[in-house]
Amino acid sequence: MQLAKPAQTVTTSPAQWSMSSLLSSLPQEDYQRLSSQLTWRPLKVRQTLHKHGEPISEIYFPSRSVISITNAMEDGGIVEVATVGREGLVGIGSVLGNSIASGDAFVQIAGEPAAVMSIDAFRREMERRGPFQELVTRYSQAFVAQLMQSVACNGLHSAEERCCRWLLMTHDRIGQDEFPLTHEFLAIMLGVRRPTVTLVMAELARGGIVSHVRGHVRIVDRKGLEGASCECYRNVRSVFDRLLPRSERASVAIAQ
């Protein structure tokens, strides 16, 4: 579904939307060249971006959204295996050697419009071996690190710790204290039963760490949430910080 581009012309970036960190970290001339191949598409909750088994045709650069990659098992069980936000891109499989999507990618939190690039344009840009290729490669490394940490986390840590980790990662990506989230959805993502999520959230609310109303969650005590989470959050965060240092300076430069 290709919606018309917003009123801004190609040369000015949509500065009022906090853009994908990957894109905003690019040098000015690389970004200018790329922006002619990007379209900005608003996302809808539960919209499927990639389906398991189908070839990847488009790469998405989310901004302030959360996209879930899920694995559907033969016996029908579904669980989230990874999440993507503004720190990365959806479709990293194409960099890691799979032209076919390994899992379903769908929108958890819609946030702001995402930048979309066709797979051919993406590959062409990668073959230039410039700053774009380097950033994407670093992200793919960080993504695999996140995946591997999740293997360990899912095997060893409790539902409460994993829930806190999920909330922390989402908080980082959205940049706001409050976001829409139902217990049912979170339960599917974490691979637990809905009552478990309700119990965990009630416990966190009692401790003054979060507050939740129907369909929304608000982070009240960030430090407390970090304390309740397992160390997997810190481990992955440090890998990301090391490989993809947040360059707020770059986004300011582009906005001018």
Partner 1 sequence: MSRSPNRLLASLSAGDYRRIAPRLHTIRLNHGSTLPHCGVARVYFPGTGVSSILSRMTDGTTIEVASVGSEGVVGLPALGSQFSAGSYLHVSRGTLQYMALNVFETLCAQTELGTAVGQFCGMFTQSVMQLVACNRLHPLEARCARWILLTHERLHRANFELTQTFLAMAIGAKSGELASIMDRLADRHIVKHDAGSVTLLDPIALRRQACSCYPVLRKNALAPIKCPPRNRGGRHRANVVAMRPMTACTLCGLTRDYPHKTHAECLRALDADLRAVIQRAKQLTQLRGQIAFESMKKFQQFATRSRS
Which residues form the interface with partner 1 (CB under 8 A)? Answer: 55, 69, 71, 73-75, 77, 79, 81-82, 93, 96-100, 102-103, 123, 127, 137, 140-142, 144-145, 147-152, 154-156, 190-191, 230-231, 235-236, 238-239, 243
d(Cα 197, Cα 182) in Å, to the nearest integer?
10
Cβ-based neighbours of 249, under 8 Å, separated by 6 or more:
none
Query: Measured from the CB atom, is 10 or 148 closer to partner 1?
Result: 148
Query: Measured from the CB atom, is 38 or 153 closer to partner 1?
Result: 153
Instruction: Give the three-state DSSP class for 73.
Output: coil
Query: Measured from the CB atom, is 76 or 256 closer to partner 1?
Result: 76
**Least distance (Å) between residue 97 CB and partner 1:** 3
d(Cα 21, Cα 36) in Å, to the nearest integer?
18
Nearest to 70 by CA among 46, 87, 86: 46
Cβ-based neighbours of 239, under 8 Å, separated by 6 or more:
141, 142, 145, 146
Nearest to 66 by CA among 117, 115, 110: 110
The count of other CB atoms within 10 Å of the CB of residue 143 is 24
The count of other CB atoms within 10 Å of the CB of residue 170 is 20
**Least distance (Å) between residue 140 CB and partner 1:** 7
Query: Measured from the CB atom, is 26 or 142 closer to partner 1?
Result: 142
Number of residues in the chain: 256
**Least distance (Å) between residue 7 CB and partner 1:** 35
**Least distance (Å) between residue 88 CB and partner 1:** 14
Query: Measured from the CB atom, is 64 or 165 closer to partner 1?
Result: 165
**Least distance (Å) between residue 238 CB and partner 1:** 8
